[in-house]
Amino acid sequence: MKETTVTRAGRPYPTQVQVPDYSKNVIDRKTDTLVYALGGLGEVGKNMYCYEHDDEIIIVDCGVLFPEEELLGIDYVINDYSYLVKNQSKIKALIITHGHEDHIGGIPFFLRSVHLKQIHAPRFAKALIEKKLEEHHLSRACKVTEINGDSRVRTKYFNVGFFDTVHSIPDSLGVIINTPNGRIIHTGDFKFDLTPIGTNSDYQKMAYIGQVGVTLLMSDSTNSGVPGFSVSEKKVANSIMDQMRKTPGRLLVSTFASNVNRLNQILMAAVACNRKIAVFGRSMENVLEIGRKLGVIKIEDSSFITGNELNTLPANRICIVCTGSQGEPMAALSRIANGTHKFIHIIPGDTVLFSSNPIPGNGVSVSAVVNQLTRVGANVITNSALTSFHTTGHAPVEEQKLMLNLIKPKFFMPNHGEYKMLIQHAKTAQETGVPAENCFICSNGDIVVLRDEEAFIANERIQTDSIYVDGNDASGLSTSVIKDRQILADSGLVAVIVTIDSRYNKILCRPSIVSRGFVYIKDSQTLLKEAELIVYDALKKKMLQRTTFGELKNCIRASLEPFLFQKTNRNPIVIPVILNQKAAIAEIQAKTGVRKVK
């Protein structure tokens, strides 16, 4: 296949996937059906896919992305909802495929921007969303309606149905979207497991849909680079049971809190081996509470113990289940490893089992926790091809081929994945018979147009970006704030304190410079004294004429920043602090009639 270059949002992408030039295609917003993502393309997270026809918009999922290390102080990354805010009168439904954070985590922030009447979510996701809305004091903001594989959501232009899929959380659904211009299948996150824990995939419905005809398939691309088939959850359950039986002392098991079926397997194995269970980690405790409430986890109260009761039982009668399988610094397992946990300290003979694999990017953090656990005397067991203590929740290549062969799409748009994953999934689609020109590699904001059961990429885009959230601030943080945090981490700050008398336009004493994270003060007195003189001289010249506080601050920065860079080759943040004499402030207050507020 001839290599072509595809440009999306001004970025050239060399690829083997042939994408025709659709630059001449113009959208007819009255009759065309538009498909676009505000998040989830070119990334694993922030999933939010929109389907628009005339005056109606259907949204599938509303997730968050957990930040990389360079996003200092950021708790979540969410989507830019500005397009949906402008068009909120068109929004007819928000549909959730399952209850993972990258699919539901953005809902509280979205509801602060957009008024919704109701959210449609499967049973377990519904319980998680209601808990999340309660924590954000948004319980009355929106009604959450339960859906399943037999449900229907109908609007003027859309007729939406569902089919059961298997994932690492109960009640996972694929979505069937019937539009005036063709049928769209949105798989959500899925895998094929012939011996699953819980509900199986609805193979019959998928095959029937494929026979009826599908215009566009949008399919999970997370494991596009993983060959073969995934390990069955039943095999993982057997491996955990074997390890539970042969462990002589306490067994600590760490897994993803959201993997409810895995949590249930661990708890059932502990009960079968006559071990009492202690659960630690807020997210794990929340999922356990919801799982027991919905009957997904059927373990009696008598099987659980509290942290205070751990020392009342023999070591071989205890199973501890906790968060922290990804090396998160504040999670329970990290605190156990560091000896800072309130109830648990590692003792020789403890076994720690990781029923998980490190997410890409978390390998270093996980290794650090494993090393620390080993250092304090634990026997650490991690997942491998020989042990099968974990299996993925996403379809590898052969299972992706099975989905493609069941659905038989005319056009294919891989989603939920980084750019490389999308490319690999498109190649897999071509191996199953989808023409290369019918495979769309899109970025967030690109618009795929359906017109009379044909599809093409439009010549316009929807503006979308990442919004950084610190705490619960739904407005996000600007790029400049993130940049300042990066500069503080790299170069530190320098504060310049200047005392003046604004009545006489006079500096009362030489400026004082304080540094934090820039240079070691005791070894840099000469540098700082020289910097003080440079600022002093610049201010004296500036104050020969009438000036303002803003101009004085700019003068300090303009004189100091080049000097510091010349001497140290670093650019710290310079913070000018100007103190006005008390008498001058009193005179200003008297003239303006503004009293000092205590």
Q: How far is CA 228 from CA 150, 167, 224, 397, 398, in A?
A: 31, 17, 10, 6, 5
What is the predicted pLDDT for the residue at 329?
Answer: 80
- Residue 361's closest CA among 39, 38, 71? 71
| Region 233-381: CATH code | 3.40.50.10710
- Give the span between the Cα atoms of 474 and 109, in whole angstroms: 5
Angle between helices 397-407 and 203-212 in degrees, nearest 10: 50
Lowest mean pLDDT among 28-37, 309-318, 381-390, 578-587: 578-587
* pLDDT tens figures, 445-456: 999 999 999 999
Of the listed ranges 5-19, 251-265, 470-484, the one predicted with least confidence: 5-19
> Is a pLDDT exceeding 80 seen at residue 114?
yes
List the catalytic residue out of 80, 189, 202, 220.
220
Q: Give yes or no: 452 in active site.
A: no
Q: Which two tokens stand for residue 574?
A: 């310079």
The confidence score (pLDDT) of residue 12 equals 44
Distance CA 217, CA 202 (A): 17
State yes or no: pLDDT of 60 exceeds 70: yes
Whether 479-592 and 233-381 are alike in CATH topology: the answer is: no
3-state secondary structure of 485: helix
| pLDDT above 80: residue 1 | no
**Closest to 409 (Cα-Cα) out of 569, 174, 242, 82:** 174
What is the domain partition of the chain in residue ranges?
Answer: 30-228+392-468, 233-381, 479-592
The hierarchical CATH code for the domain 30-228+392-468 is: 3.60.15.10
Q: What is the mean pLDDT of residues 153-182?
A: 96
Q: What is the pLDDT of residue 361?
A: 63
Catalytic residue among 103, 120, 167, 394: 394
- Yes or no: say if 326 and 364 are a contact pair by the CB < 8 Å rule: no
Question: Maximum Cα–Cα distance for the chain, whole Å?
Answer: 88
- pTM (global) more than 0.75: yes
Instruction: Give the tens place of pLDDT for each residue, 247-259.
Output: 999 999 999 888 8
Q: Please give the mean pLDDT across all residues of the chain.
A: 88
- What pLDDT, on the 0 to 100 scale, is given for residue 72? 64
9 — pLDDT class (breaks 50, 70, 90): very low
- pLDDT of 208-263, one tens digit each? 999 999 999 999 999 999 999 999 999 999 999 999 999 999 999 999 888 898 99
Please indicate whether residue 62 or residue 467 has the higher confidence score (pLDDT).
62
Helices (H), 178-255: 203-212, 233-246
Residue 493, pLDDT > 70, answer yes
CA-based Rg of the chain, rounded to a whole angstrom? 29
Do the beta carbons of residue 27 and residue 460 sit within 8 Å?
Answer: yes
Coil vs helix vs strand at 482: helix
454 - beta bridge partners?
Answer: 451
Q: What is the structure's pLDDT at 156?
A: 96
Q: Which two tokens stand for residue 533?
A: 């003189």
Long-range contacts of 481-485 (CB under 8 A, 24+ apart): 482/71, 482/72, 482/74, 484/573, 485/72, 485/73
Asked whether the predicted pLDDT for residue 406 surpasses 90, the reply is: yes
* Structure tokens belonging to residue 392: 């993925």
pLDDT value at 526 more than 90: no
**Residue 584 confidence (pLDDT):** 64
Tell me if residue 490 is catalytic. no
pLDDT at residue 71 is higher than 70? no
Residue of higher predicted confidence among 398 and 72: 398
According to the model, what pLDDT value does residue 469 have? Answer: 78
Architecture of domain 479-592: Roll (3.10)
Q: What does DSSP say about strands 466-469 and 409-415: parallel, antiparallel, or unpaired?
A: unpaired
- Token pair for residue 541? 């010249």
